[in-house]
Structures are given as C-alpha cells and as structure tokens.
Amino acid sequence: MKFNLKKIISGFKEYFVLIILLLFSLVLLPQNNHPSVKKIKSYGFASIAVINSFFSMASSFIRDDAELVKQKKLNAELMLQLNLLREHALENESLKNLLNFRDTASYSLIPSKVVSKLVSSTNGNMIINRGSSDSIKVGMPVINEKGLLGIIVNTSDNFAQVRTINNSNLKITGKLQRLNSDGILSWNGKKLVMKNLPSTFDVRIGDRIVTSDFSTILPPDIPVGIVSDVTLVYSGALLNLSVQPFADISSVNDVFVLKLILSKQIDEFELNFYN
C-alpha cells in the first residue's frame, strides 16, 4: 500500500505542486492591488457572474414553470368557485322574485318545482312535484313571476302534469291590453301566435298580451307575452301576430299553481275540445 502511494505521488508530483501553487495564488490574489491583477480579478468575477447568471436563469425558469402551473390550477379552482357563486346568486334572485310575486298576488298560490320537461316541436309538457294531496286539480293555471306557463291537465297524489303554452293542444283566449281586443292564442309548432285579427286593429310591435276576461279556463289579466311580429294575411284583410312569451319554458324551475278553477264543467269541456 505504501509502495503504491509513493508511486502515485512520484508519478503525479508535478500536478500536486501545480494545484498547491494555484491554491496559494488564489489565496494571495485578493490581497494584491496591482493593476494587472485587478484586471484578472475583474475578468474572473465577470466570468463567475455570467456562469452564475446562467444557472440562476435555468433554475428560475424551472421554478417559474412550476409556479405557473400552480397559478393556473388556482385560477381554475377560483373559476369553478366563482361560477358556483353566480349560480347561487341567480337562484337567489329568482327565489326572491318568486317570494315578492307571491306576497303581492291576490290569488292563493301553491309553490312547486318542475321535476321533468317533456318537450317536442308541438307538445310541450311539464311535471311538477305537487299533486292532488296538495289540493292541485285539473284546470288550475300554472304561472311564475313573469307570466303564464300553462294549465294542469292531469294529477296524481304527489305530481301533476302541466300542458304548457308551447303545446299546440292548448288554446288560450288572450287580449291585446292596449286595444282591449281579444283573440285566440295557440302554439303552431315554432312560436306562439294570435291569428285572424281584423287588419283595422292598430297593433304595434311590443304590445302586451294578457289573458282575456272571456277566457273560461284562466282568470283575466295574467301576463302572457308581447307582440314580436305582425303579418297581413288574406290579401291584407286579417292580421296574424307572433307573440314572445314573458316566461321562458325551457329554463323555468320554480312555478306557482293558481288555486282557482273558474268553472269545472266548462274547463273540462274546453280542455277536451282542443285535444
């Protein structure tokens, strides 16, 4: 072992001497203020600074990339929370409107929720979570805070079927509120219409339509919608009106059943007549 160590030292003694001298020079170098030494020092420091900056940038890039992923994850979580808060705010606003409407309505209202929507191009129906055990009966109108939605056509103990205004089998006697003129409202598979009004009527876009005093299945003055288009038919002798409903059937979730039947016999006759 001693022989091998001596052999290594004798074989590499020049390198050992060089390393020792270099280390000694590095120790003495900071204490030397000679101009040429100062220049060497500045070059050395500049080189070390460049190398250190490179490694620092690489480290920073890796660190920033991880931080960026972390921030993106946080943003995604905040986005989901914000969207949930918006949904709660919308639901809260809707429920407040319903409560305000219920407080100001002069009729007895039964609050209910839509549990199913059965919608086709011609037949719009809903199922609500109130039935005969809640005093719901066939012929009762269904509304929300914006306007008319439909009429109860079938009940079980805990559920009821609503024929909506988007159902071609439901015909409603409506009234142009500004003109106090009546007409029949019906769904034509694409939109709600009021047909065959005299062309002498001064109908305007935006005119409000409510339920008529002559309706046998609905109380008067329930908001239905506004006139969105006026078309002349039969060589200009009559008017067909397109009606934009106030209540959006596709998005409604909370409804009220109006605890009122004007005439049970007339209601059943009229409802069955249009089936």
pLDDT (mean) for 133-141 = 92
For residue 221, the model assigns a pLDDT of: 86
pLDDT-derived band of residue 218, with 50, 70 and 90 as boundaries? confident
**Closest-CA residue to 117 (of 107, 126, 109):** 126
pLDDT-derived band of residue 8, with 50, 70 and 90 as boundaries? low
**Closest-CA residue to 161 (of 149, 172, 170, 153):** 153
In this model, does residue 134 exceed pLDDT 50?
A: yes
Most confident of 68-72, 117-121, 164-168: 164-168
In this model, does residue 205 exceed pLDDT 50?
A: yes
Alpha-carbon gap, residue 54 to 227, rounded angstroms: 71
User: Which DSSP state fits 28?
Assistant: H
For residue 250, the model assigns a pLDDT of: 86
Say what the pTM is: 0.60
Residues 140 and 151: beta-carbon distance below 8 Å:
yes
pLDDT (mean) for 45-50 = 55
Angle at 185 between CA 181 and CA 187, to 5 degrees: 160
Q: Which residue has the higher pLDDT, 34 or 229?
A: 229
pLDDT tens, residue by residue, 158-178 = 999 999 999 999 999 999 999
pLDDT (mean) for 38-59 = 57
Alpha-carbon gap, residue 154 to 251, rounded angstroms: 22
Q: How many residues does the chain have?
A: 275
